[in-house]
Every structure is written in C-alpha cells, then in structure tokens.
Amino acid sequence: MITKEGKIVLASKDDPIVLESGEKIGPVEVAYETYGQLNEKKSNAILICHAFSGSAHAAGKKSQKEKPGWWDYMIGPKKPFDTDKYFVICSNVLGGCSGTTGPSSINPETNKPYALDFPLISIGDMVKVQKMLIDHFGIEKLFCVAGGSMGGMQSLSWMINYPDNIQNAILIATAVRHSPMQIAFHEVGRQAIMADPSWQGGNYYGVSIPAKGLAIARMLGHITYMSEESMEEKFGRQRKDLKSTFKYNADFEVEHYLRYRGDTFVKRFDANTYLYLTKAMDNFDAANGKPLEEVIKGHKYRVLIISFTSDWLYPSKHSKEIVKACKRAGVDSVYCEINSRYGHDAFLLDLEEQATLIRNFLNSSAKVKRHEHKSGL
C-alpha cells in the first residue's frame, strides 16, 4: 500500500477562512494521510472522516512500535476501502490536535497558543476545510465520503453542502442532530475539564495540563461507547489483585480499565480540543432546522447507512431518521442494522458484516458509475 503523510497550509493570515459563525481564521494548516494512488481521471478518491478522538492516521503503521491506524482493518489492499482500487484520504479535522490548526496551535496575533481565543467551529467548518484539501488535489468529485459517529456527521454535511462533489456517502452510527442525552454526556465531560484547577481558563499550555479533568471526561465518554453486554463480557465483576490499602483503589477490572483509558488519552489529546469538538457535535443540525428531506431532495448520490443494535449512544432510531429522509427525498439509499454487542465502538472493530456491506456497496456503486458512463448519462 502506497502511504503518504503531509501537511498543507490552506489559508493564510491575509486570506483567512470565513467560518459559519462569521469569524475568520488563518493561517490554517491541515495534516493528512493518503493511501493508494489517484488515477489519471481523479475519479477514484475516497475521503474518510474520523470520529471525535481520531486523527489523519487511519491505516498502516508509521513504525514497528506504533499501533496501526484507527481503521486499519478497513483500509488497504483487498480490504473494503481497497487501496489497489481507490485513493483514500484522511485529514485531521479543523480544531483538532493531531497536526491540524486548533486551540493548541500558535495564534499569529500573540505568538502564543490560541487556547480559548480559538473561534468556535462547526462540523460544516471542518467539511469546508476538507473541501479545500480535496480541491488542492484537483479532485472535482469524490467517489465516496465515509465516516462513523462525528465522521458520519461530516459525511452528512458533505451531502448537504457539497452534493455535486460526491458520488456516494457512507454514514455509520451517526445522527442528524444530538439528543439532549448526548449533549448532557458531553457537558459533564466539559465540566470535568473546566473544574480541574490546572485548566486555568484554557491557558495551561507550557504549564500543567488539566490531566485529571481530561481523564475523567474520557472515562465517562468511554462508558458511553460500550454496551452493558460488552462490559459484562470483558470485565464481569473481576477484581484486581492489588496490595494497596487505599479504600478507593481500582479494585474491579472495569475501574482499572477506565483509569487506564483516561490516563492514556491525556497523553495524546488536548483538553481544549475536547471542548471545541464536543461543542461542534452538540451544535450540529444537518439541515439547520429544516426537514432533512428538503435539503437532500434531487441529489444523485447513493447512500449507505449503518447502525448497531447495542449502540445506546447513537441508537438505530437516529440512523432510521436519515433513512426515512432519503426515501422521502428520492435519494438512492441502503440501510442495515447490524446485530452487535459492542455498543457505539462497534464501527471501529473488526466486524465482518460491516466490512462486507461497505465492500459490496462500493463495488455496486462502481458498476452503476460504469453503466452511466457507457449510457452517456
């Protein structure tokens, strides 16, 4: 698999990006990775949109010591996103902390990290930057845009904001807008971060990061990504054999696991990015208050929508809302609810049924494309 990684400045201080809020930001640097080769017609490009804590590193291993990318089982030769056929692109989102401009980046006005001076961003702003990256590659139309969770929101935003620039979309475990429960979980995580004395109003860079608050936020979030069944299977009521006499030590395996997840998250993620990205997700309303079918009506892309039976954070009813809108709008769509016990995290795991669905959808879309080309449509 031919893999390349890079960074590109897509906006400057003198020519900034205008955000949906009306605020401007520049320069904007974007980190990305590509897999496979772009064909001569530039018609085989697939954009992968990462979820909340993801990055541009979607597949492969940068070194023997590092873990493979977050969707490695899906991207590569002979895999569903087959890099022998497709040119796969994944970029870190605007507001991120893995190479793309975000609150931890240097503000050219102060020569210090933006912190909370970074403007509020939206899912639409993330997609606008992705469109600029696609334009940089000279790609007029993506063969497919795909993602799960926050990545699914980005894919849905592509369907609405750039309908003529995509042929297919894959939306996995996502929603048109967040429910009050989803917003509530995010707010508890944000409050945990802001209650940490080390947060210092967001100005902790170069001093002491709000590690405890961010770890707790991640622990809470990780609980919502799993299901009761998967937690029972993975941990049960097993206890750790610890010698500490502290009364509130991590006695149970599940406690130890959550603390481990929180501690490792702190090492790779920025607390302010947590605030900005969760707020962007909570503010997301794909159709801006209008019926979704109205804003996608008449568009010619094909859509695959996938949900999971045990996902209580993004339950199947959210996906079915998108399916109904597609049907009412006359958009060619396919829906499948996969029986899985892994909760919301199911889309990140090696599920053969998901892989088969995506592979078959892309193959059938390629056949439709060839038929339309031969027919002169």
pLDDT at 61: 82
Residues classed as catalytic: 149, 311, 344
Residue 123 Rama label (left phi>0; alpha psi -120 to 50; beta): alpha
pLDDT digits (tens, 9 = 90+) for 8-51: 999 888 899 999 999 999 999 999 999 999 999 999 999 999 99
CA 197 vs CA 28, 112, 192, 193, 212: distances in Å:
30, 21, 10, 9, 9
User: Which one, of 121, 127, 180, 171, lies nearest residue 149 by Cα?
Assistant: 171
Token pair, residue 312, equals 């209580």
Task: Give the chain's count of helices (H) and strands (E).
Answer: 10, 14
Rounded average pLDDT over 255-269: 93
Beta carbons within 10 angstroms of residue 305's beta carbon:
26
pTM score, whole prediction? 0.93
Nearest to 336 by CA among 323, 351, 352: 323
Does the pLDDT of residue 376 top 70, yes or no?
no
pLDDT band, residue 375 (cuts 50/70/90): very low
User: What is the reported pLDDT for 371?
Assistant: 47
Structure confidence by residue, pLDDT tens digits, 180-202: 999 999 999 999 999 999 999 99
Q: What is the pLDDT of residues 130-158, one digit of tens each?
A: 999 999 999 999 999 999 999 999 999 99
169-187 average pLDDT score: 97
Q: List beta partners, residue 17.
A: 25
Per-residue pLDDT tens digits for 201-215: 999 999 999 999 999
Q: What is the mean pLDDT of residues 256-277?
A: 95
Q: What percent of the chain is predicted at pLDDT more than 90?
A: 83
DSSP sequence for 151-211: HHHHHHHHHHH-GGGBSEEEEES--SB--HHHHHHHHHHHHHHHHSGGGGGG--TTT---H
Domains of the chain: 3-178+285-375 (3.40.50.1820), 182-280 (1.10.1740.110)
Q: What is the pLDDT of residues 283-300, one digit of tens each?
A: 999 999 899 999 999 999
Under the banding of pLDDT at 50, 70 and 90, the label for residue 65 is: confident
Residue 242 banded pLDDT, cuts 50, 70, 90: low
* Distance separating alpha carbons of residues 148 and 348, to the nearest angstrom: 8
